[in-house]
Amino acid sequence: MSTEFNELLQGPLGDQPPTDKSQIWIIGTREQVLHTINEFYVKRIANDRVKFTPIIPAPFEGKYMSVLVR
């Protein structure tokens, strides 16, 4: 990697404390979101369904969302 790229990594995104957790946002129809949650659980991407937020309406027409916090 170049020096310039390494300097960019030290910027605002690189300074986040290690206590921040990554998130996976799932957006789609209600059935798609539920299917993806089940798929993540079966494939052991998430070891517990409790790590997903409840399915809520997304700010897009006819779409729903859930967030996996890892």
Query: What's the pLDDT tens digit per position in 19-67?
Result: 678 899 999 999 999 999 999 999 999 999 999 999 999 999 999 999 9
pLDDT at residue 20 in the model: 79
C-beta atoms surrounding 28 within 10 Å: 17
Contact between 41 and 49 (Cβ < 8 Å): yes
The pLDDT value given to residue 2: 65
pLDDT above 80 (res 1): no
pLDDT at 12: 57
Is the pTM higher than 0.95?
A: no
Is the model's pLDDT at 5 over the cut of 70?
no
Using DSSP's 3-state secondary structure scheme, residue 20 falls into coil
